[in-house]
Structure 1
Amino acid sequence: MATKDAHGQVTETPREARQAENSKNSFVVLTVSLVVLAIIGVGLFWYFGIVPATHGPGPG
């Protein structure tokens, strides 16, 4: 945990500073979760008939 020195400035160790760096793993997790969320969203739109082209016969 970052601490304050005698002058009130926040100091942190190099290990603590590295924890905020971007990594390929965080990008992969973000990408996969967004893809899954999009698939679930499309499934819900289809299930509730919001996409009329895929649900039953058209008008007339």
Structure 2
Amino acid sequence: MFDAATTALLRAVLDEVCVNVTRHETGARTLVATKILECVTRGETSPDVLKQAGRETLSDAPAMWR
């Protein structure tokens, strides 16, 4: 598991990337969260890099998820 600071960072990045995605659109949010988690497990903790990875994932998501 992640420490409290990392967990807070992940939540903040997810919320910022998905600002225009409702909480009911779980497919898109899950996809973005998964990509962000993949980055963190590889050791990436830069908020800018995590946001970019999330945004790229969201832009590649099926249109019905955006």
TM-score, scaled relative to structure 2: 0.30
User: Is the radius of gyration larger for structure 1 or structure 2?
Assistant: 1
Greater fraction helix: 2
TM-score, scaled relative to structure 1: 0.32
Greater fraction strand: 1
